[in-house]
Structure formats: structure tokens, C-alpha cells
Structure 1
Amino acid sequence: MSDHDPLRDLWAGQETGNFVMPLEDVRRKARDFQKTILRRNMTEYAAAALVIALFGWTAITVPEPIVRAGCFLIIFGALYVCWKLYGLARSASGAEMDAAQNLMTFHRAELLRQRAALASVWRWYLLPFVPGMAVFLGGVSFAPDNPAPLAVKLVILLFAAMLVAALFYGVWWLNQRAVKALDGEIAALEGAGEDWPVDS
């Protein structure tokens, strides 16, 4: 049989070109992404306010100094997380988006910025709570008015620490899933083409 295949030659010789996503689709994706980030951050700030209120009330009502110290450390941890959340993962404003020279470049940079924040969540989101939780759980477990034997106190402390560790792992795992989802978004955006019109 001949190696010449007209259909194959026709397919191989056609011009492919890069697929370019319409600019309005990029604009819509960028706006939806920023709205999602804003909602997430508002939820995080509300959760931090709840943590501060709860442990602030505990620090006022519980006389045990170690427990109170743990409460204050947790409050400081929550404030630090809010500060880092704003610095690392705040949502971009509409003015920033409108001022972007190239919308695709802007959206890609925002995806990368949020990905970096989520990938390092263990350092700025979870670790700041560790000292406060350790002191708080230790103070509760070994409070002077706790009549339980030492072995029971140790078991209670270990069990509480395992629950907190499981919670921290769950938060880390969910954020790693979000990182993978952002990787997919970034790859899809990069695969859609590099030559985008300058947004005016």
C-alpha cells in the first residue's frame, strides 16, 4: 500500500492557530473570581470576629491565668490572620480591574496571588493559632480545680489536641484542593492564548 494518504496530508497541512477566549469572557471570569474572593474573605472576617468574641468572653469570665493567657494568644492569632488575609489574599477592587492594561494578564496575576496565599495557609493561617491553642488546652486540662487524676488529664489533653490537629489538617486539605482548582484555572487561561487586546 502507498504511504500517501490525501486525508492525512490535508489534516496535517491545515493552519491551526491558537484559540483566543473572547475578552468579555475573561472580564466575566475575572469579576466572578473577585466576587468569590470577597465573599470568602467576609466569611473569614466574620469567623475571626466570632473567635475574638468567644475567647474574649472566656478570658473575662474564667479566673484561671493560664486559660486566660491562652485566650488572649488565640485572639492575637485571629487578629494576625485577618491582617495577613488582607495583605496576601484580599479581593481586587473594580478600579484596579478597570485600570488594568491587559485584562488577561491581570486575571492571571490575581489567580497566582490567591494560589500563593492558599499554598502557604499553614504558615499564616494555621500556625498563629498553635501557641494559643496549646496554652488554652493545657490550662483547661490541668486547671487546679480539676479533680481528675493526672493520667486522665493527660488523656483529655491528648484527645483535645488530636481534635484540633484533625481540624487543622482538614483546613489545610481543603485549601490544597483549592490550590489544585486554581492550577486548572491558570492552565486553562494560559492555554487560551497569549495575544490579548489591551483593555481600555
Structure 2
Amino acid sequence: MTTDNGSDALRELWQRQSGSSFSMEPDEIQRRLSRLQADLRDVQIVVYILCPGLAIWFAYWLIFTTQPIITRAGLLLLVLGMSFWAGQIWLYNRDRQKALVNSDAAGQTSCLEFYRAELVRQRDFYRGGWFWWRLLALYSGLFLGGWGPLDHHATLRSRVINLIVVSILAALAVWLSYRKSRKIQRQIDTIEAMKVQ
């Protein structure tokens, strides 16, 4: 999905923007919104290519190979986790497009308010329930997928290494998500401080 139509609608909104008492110029807001759109486009490309590809790969191993039940449960969780992540991105983009259309139709939302709403929506994507659900699905899928019965191909040592690697990846995902949401929260706080002035 592209955001080109959204860019045109945003440009029209900025052109109709009347003067306001805020100290952030409309050009600065446009630049920041363009950066948010570029970030979202990059995430969409990765998620819409990576998630279906990995989901198909895991589904292949789930359906066409003989795996122990615990490994099959892990593969199923991975397929569901990848699908859930792609669905979250789709819903996020849909909500963003709805907000843009509503702002344009109402004609009352200032550029700064629209920008703040975008930041809040993005911050909430990186923390809260949706983040924890996708992390839980992916972490448990990776954990169970690599923890089947021991045989000559997999030793206890390799299973423990898998657990350690998956735990490190989960901790890294939590840290990166927390860091991103804090950065976005600082931008929201800056906008709130501008409103008070």
C-alpha cells in the first residue's frame, strides 16, 4: 500500500491551514509528517514482504513435514504471529487514512493536531497490548518451534542455545520498542508544551 494519496490530502490540508498561535510552522509540520509517512512506508514494505514470506515458509514446515507436536504448535504460533503483525500494520494504516479523511472533511483539525494524533497512534503501536500480543505470539512460536523432542539432529545444548537466542531477541525487541515509543512521547510532550505557551 502506498501513501501517495495521503500526501495529496495532507498538502491540501496544509494549504487551507489558517494561522495559529503555535510556534511550529506548517512547513515544519509537513516535513515531520512526511518523515512519519516515509518511516511507515519502510515498515510496510518490510512487514508486507517479510511476514507473508515467513508465514508461508513456516506453514510449509507445519503442513508438509512430519514434526513433533510441540514443534508443530510453535510453527502454528509463528504463522499466527506473522499474520497478526501484518494485520496490525494494515489496521494502523487504515486508521491513519480514516483520520486523514475525517480531518479533511471536517476542515477543523489543525495541522498540528493532526500531527499530534499521528504521533499518538504511532506511539501506541510500539507499546501496549498490540506490541505485547505480537511479541508473545512470536516468542512462544520461536521457543516451542525449537524445543521439540531430542534426537540425533538436535542436542540439549542446541535447544538451550535456541532458548537463549530467542530470549535475547525478545529482550532486544522490547528495548527497541520502548526506545521508539519514548522518542515519540518526547515529540508529543513538545507539542503539548507548545500548546501551553
Q: 1:87 to 1:124 in 2, by over 3 A?
A: farther
Q: 1:190 to 1:47 in 2, by over 3 A?
A: same
Candidates 155, 160, 174, aligned match of 1:153: 155
Q: How far apart, in 1, do the equivalents of 2:104 and 2:23 lie?
A: 21
Q: How far apart, in 2, do the equivalents of 1:109 and 1:191 lie?
A: 15
- Secondary structure of 2:23's counterpart equals coil
The answer for the alignment partner of 1:190 in structure 2 is: 192
Q: How far off is 1:51 after superposition?
A: 1.4
In terms of fraction of residues, the more helix-rich structure is: 2
Q: 1:96 to 1:24 in 2, by over 3 A?
A: farther
RMSD after superposition = 2.8
Q: Is the 8 A contact 1:97 1:103 kept in 2?
A: no
The answer for the alignment partner of 2:127 in structure 1 is: 119
Percent identity of the aligned residues? 22
Gaps of 5+ in 1: 1-17, 196-200
| Equivalent residue pairs, number | 171
Task: Provide Cα deviations, 1:149-171, integer angstroms capped at 9, x if missing partner.
Answer: xxx83332221111011011111
1:39 maps to 2:26: no
Q: How far apart, in 2, do the equivalents of 1:103 and 1:192 lie?
A: 14
The answer for the alignment partner of 1:102 in structure 2 is: 110
- Secondary structure of 1:138's counterpart equals coil
Q: Which amino acid is the alignment partner of residue 79 of structure 1?
A: S
Task: Provide Cα deviations, 1:6-43, integer angstroms capped at 9, x if missing partner.
Answer: xxxxxxxxxxxx76122232133223312322321331
Q: Is the 8 A contact 2:139 2:166 kept in 1?
A: no
The answer for the alignment partner of 1:172 in structure 2 is: 174
Q: Is the 8 A contact 1:41 1:90 kept in 2?
A: no
Candidates 143, 156, 174, aligned match of 1:134: 143
Q: How does 1:2-151 map to 2 (within 5 A)?
A: 20-66=23-69, 67-88=71-92, 92-93=96-97, 95=101, 98-99=104-105, 101-120=109-128, 122-139=131-148, 142-143=149-150, 146-147=151-152
Q: Is the 8 A contact 2:58 2:78 kept in 1?
A: yes
Q: Is the 8 A contact 2:47 2:85 kept in 1?
A: no
What TM-score does the superposition give when structure 2 sets the normalisation length? Answer: 0.72
Q: How far apart, in 2, do the equivalents of 1:183 and 1:172 lie?
A: 16
Q: Which amino acid is the alignment partner of residue 64 of structure 1?
A: Q
Q: Which amino acid is the alignment partner of residue 44 of structure 2?
A: N
- When Rg is computed on C-alpha atoms for both structures, the one with the higher figure is 1
What TM-score does the superposition give when structure 1 sets the normalisation length? Answer: 0.71
Q: 1:166 to 1:61 in 2, by over 3 A?
A: same
